[in-house]
A and B are shown apart, each in its own frame.
Chain A
Amino acid sequence: MKSITVVLLTILAAGGASAADDPEVQALLVRMDDLYRGTASSHGKMTMRVKTNRFQREISMEMWSEGAEKSLIRILGPARDRGTATLKADQNIWNYLPKVDRTIKVPVAMMSGSWMGSHLSNDDLVDSSRFSEDFQCHAVQKSESKQGFWLLECVPNEDAVVVYSKTTLKIRANNEIATEVTDYDERGNPVRTMMLSEIDEISGRLYPRHIRMVPNDKPGEYTEMIYDEMEFDVRLPEDTFTLRSLKK
């Protein structure tokens, strides 16, 4: 799975330098990369809906990002969680907990735990954004027309820090946006699928307003993220991604 920051901020693509033997796939990857190259910063608001067999919850949040390495997410509601914030800087995550007024660095042992009760783990937040370097992609299905889809199969390189055996991307030919991303385990079974829809355009950038993540081993469960507001290339105060601003 691509870094969730990347997912949240819609820069979902198979990345620039992804190696592909097939020149056509290579060209597709390059074009997708070009589309998002130079995304310096972003700011947006979104609603996350988590449906599990145990609970259902809806969280609204505001977030800021700079490149793929830094991001800050602050919970706006519900009231009980308001003010809770997550800062991601490089490979580390800190959570600010307003109830106890403390900032806690998420330890290694909790990285695989759920983030805010969703189907995303803390690991997903920091998960390597080196997708571009770490995978070898080839086209399983090519689209001749603009209406069709490309189906890419990306296999992680031997030394890529990725647990999945492969990831498939379903890419809409007309706008070259991925609409379905599926991760597979070593036995070739799908582990989870992410569906992206309601493609919108802001500042010349395409992004899906609606992202839905479905874990394959838990039927009926999902996590949905819906962008309410989004802006790119915003000017952010220098101290945005510091522990101090986490507490604000």
Chain B
Amino acid sequence: MTTFKMAWRNIWRNSRRTLVTVAAMSLALMVTVNYQAIMTGLLSSLEGNILDLEMGDIQVFAPDYRDRPSIYSSVDEVDPMLETLEADGYRVTTRLLAGGLAASDETSAGAMVRGLEPGREAEATLIHDHVVQGSWLDPEDPRGIVLGAKLAKSLAVAPGDEVILLSQSTDGSIANDLYEVRGVLGVISDGTDRAGVFMLDEAFRNLFYFDGGAHQLLIRTPGDVDLGTAVEYLRGLWADLDIQSWRDLLPTMSQMLDSAAAALAVFMVIIYIAIAITVINAMLMAVFERVREFGVLKAIGVEPGRVFRIILIESAMQCGLAIVIGLTLSLPLLWYVSTVGIDVGRLGGASMAGMAMDPIWLGVVTPATFVIPVVLLIFMVALAVLYPALKAARIQPVEAMRYQ
């Protein structure tokens, strides 16, 4: 008890030094907490963009669809599958897929037509959030379609304009109809930007005389289920279907994200090393400068163990103070980076391996945002204190007096 009291009194005896040390630690904590939030956000947005807009976590196709995409290769008996999936906590949307030609008055371009039910789609993807002009599909508007950015540009159309879709129906007749552009998407992926045409499930069925199930099921796994486990589980349920995780479907992308994560980890290490230097520097200075003072303590009969404990407790107190101050101060900044974000791109619309990238880094706050920096801070302080503390505990009073 007296050790605690002594330590507490000690740290305020030289309040300036304590303040400088605590300030350095607080600053370090502030930087790491925000950095951690931004990196977490960056990583999850890298993956998130692809999964939320384009891929889902897992996709299900008829066995031959991916080798030879054909409107006839559909997954039938979809409804019981949806029930099973939803009962297990999976979110799922169905998509109907076909190729065709989109034509405006001006010109025409190849189209990848995707039929979906907006209500169900919103459960599994965020594509409805990425409409930059006009609005997303509406079940009340069967003639409305939403186009990819580059497709709208090459057709020279905007919301309100008419577009004709032309293809072959399942019965061999010409599928053709007139639609109105409801919305235009932002940058999603190269394929979607260039050729994506989204329409209502019902409109798709009417255009193509299609009465099968669905060509693609886009599944989001529950948060607590590991991707590989989920794929195994679903393959067990429906062995005769082609069930793939997004990592299997986009191996390059998946690899690239892993390497981006590795690069971020390297950056993270660099920043933490810089933080560690700052903190250790401050701590070493603070303790070394008091070696003489500890010599005095020893001279008056305090045993080495107690000196050692006093130093550790003092540091722990400073560290605790820094944690309170640092975390408190980091909150406003954290609010900023997680709501407004840091704009690191000037043009927008960057892409990586054909996938959209958000030029705004938005922080994401998770428990790890606080836990990792705090744990690391404690570790660094301990590292910085141990050596001088040991040295101070062992020092001979006479030697300490000479110590500078």
Question: Is B108 in the interface zone, CB < 8 Å from A?
Answer: yes
* A78 to B170 CA separation, bound complex (whole angstroms): 15
Chain B residues with CB under 8 A of A117: 168-169, 171-174
Q: Chain A residue with minimal CB distance to B107?
A: A107
Seen from chain A, the residues whose Cβ lies within 8 Å of a Cβ on chain B are: 50, 52, 54-55, 57, 78, 80-81, 84, 95, 97, 99-100, 102, 104-105, 107, 109-110, 113-114, 116-118
In the bound complex, do residue A52 and residue B164 qualify as a contact, i.e. CB atoms below 8 Å apart? no
In the bound complex, do residue A81 and residue B164 qualify as a contact, i.e. CB atoms below 8 Å apart? no
Chain B residues with CB under 8 A of A81: 173-174
Type the 1/0 row for B122-153, where 1 means its CB is closer than 8 Å to any CB of A.
00000000000000000000000000000000
In the bound complex, do residue A55 and residue B176 qualify as a contact, i.e. CB atoms below 8 Å apart? no
Given contacts A54-B72, A104-B103, A107-B101, contact A97 B176 (CB under 8 A): yes
Chain A residues with CB under 8 A of B164: 97, 100, 102, 104
* A81 to B168 CA separation, bound complex (whole angstroms): 12
Chain B residues with CB under 8 A of A55: 170-172
Q: Which of A80, A110, A113 is the one whose CB lies under 8 Å from B173? A: A80
In the bound complex, do residue B177 and residue A116 qualify as a contact, i.e. CB atoms below 8 Å apart? no
Given contacts A104-B108, A109-B110, contact A97 B173 (CB under 8 A): no
Type the 1/0 row for B162-182, where 1 means its CB is closer than 8 Å to any CB of A.
001010111111101110000
Type the 1/0 row for B88-115, where 1 means its CB is closer than 8 Å to any CB of A.
0000000000000101000011100000
Chain B residues with CB under 8 A of A110: 101, 110
* A81 to B110 CA separation, bound complex (whole angstroms): 22
B179 to chain A: closest CB distance in Å? 9
* A114 to B70 CA separation, bound complex (whole angstroms): 13
In the bound complex, do residue A97 and residue B166 qualify as a contact, i.e. CB atoms below 8 Å apart? yes
Chain A residues with CB under 8 A of B172: 50, 52, 54-55, 57, 114, 116-118
* A159 to B133 CA separation, bound complex (whole angstroms): 49
Chain B residues with CB under 8 A of A105: 108
Top 8 closest A-B pairs, CB basis?
Answer: A117-B172, A100-B178, A57-B172, A97-B176, A55-B171, A55-B172, A100-B164, A104-B103
* A93 to B19 CA separation, bound complex (whole angstroms): 82
Q: Chain A residue with minimal CB distance to B109?
A: A107
Q: Which of A80, A100, A104, A118 is the one whose CB lies under 8 Å from B177? A: A100
* A114 to B168 CA separation, bound complex (whole angstroms): 8
Q: Chain A residue with minimal CB distance to B166?
A: A104
In the bound complex, do residue B170 and residue A104 qualify as a contact, i.e. CB atoms below 8 Å apart? no
Chain B residues with CB under 8 A of A80: 173
* A207 to B170 CA separation, bound complex (whole angstroms): 33
Seen from chain B, the residues whose Cβ lies within 8 Å of a Cβ on chain A are: 72, 101, 103, 108-110, 164, 166, 168-174, 176-178
* A122 to B85 CA separation, bound complex (whole angstroms): 43
* A230 to B145 CA separation, bound complex (whole angstroms): 44
* A135 to B219 CA separation, bound complex (whole angstroms): 54
Q: Chain A residue with minimal CB distance to B71?
A: A54
In the bound complex, do residue A100 and residue B171 qualify as a contact, i.e. CB atoms below 8 Å apart? no
What are 22 residue pairs bridging A and B, where the CB atoms are less than 8 Å apart in the complex?
A: A54-B72, A55-B170, A55-B172, A78-B173, A81-B174, A95-B174, A97-B166, A97-B174, A97-B176, A99-B176, A100-B176, A100-B177, A100-B178, A102-B103, A104-B101, A104-B103, A105-B108, A107-B108, A110-B101, A116-B174, A117-B169, A118-B172
* A97 to B103 CA separation, bound complex (whole angstroms): 12
B168 to chain A: closest CB distance in Å? 6
Chain B residues with CB under 8 A of A57: 171-173
A111 to chain B: closest CB distance in Å? 11
* A248 to B224 CA separation, bound complex (whole angstroms): 63
Chain A residues with CB under 8 A of B108: 104-105, 107
* A50 to B170 CA separation, bound complex (whole angstroms): 13
Chain A residues with CB under 8 A of B169: 117
Chain A residues with CB under 8 A of B166: 95, 97, 104
* A239 to B99 CA separation, bound complex (whole angstroms): 34
Q: Chain B residue with minimal CB distance to A102?
A: B164
Instruction: Knowing that A95-B166, A104-B108, A117-B168 touch, tell me 13 more A-B residue pairs with CB under 8 angstroms.
Output: A55-B170, A57-B171, A81-B174, A97-B164, A100-B164, A100-B177, A102-B103, A107-B101, A109-B110, A110-B110, A113-B168, A114-B168, A117-B171
* A41 to B374 CA separation, bound complex (whole angstroms): 89
Chain B residues with CB under 8 A of A54: 72, 170, 172
Q: Chain B residue with minimal CB distance to A107?
A: B108
* A76 to B108 CA separation, bound complex (whole angstroms): 27
A213 to chain B: closest CB distance in Å? 14
B157 to chain A: closest CB distance in Å? 14
* A113 to B172 CA separation, bound complex (whole angstroms): 12
* A117 to B72 CA separation, bound complex (whole angstroms): 14
* A84 to B173 CA separation, bound complex (whole angstroms): 10
In the bound complex, do residue B168 and residue A99 qualify as a contact, i.e. CB atoms below 8 Å apart? no
* A148 to B172 CA separation, bound complex (whole angstroms): 39
Chain B residues with CB under 8 A of A99: 176-178
A151 to chain B: closest CB distance in Å? 34
B346 to chain A: closest CB distance in Å? 35
* A184 to B293 CA separation, bound complex (whole angstroms): 98
* A100 to B174 CA separation, bound complex (whole angstroms): 12
* A80 to B176 CA separation, bound complex (whole angstroms): 11
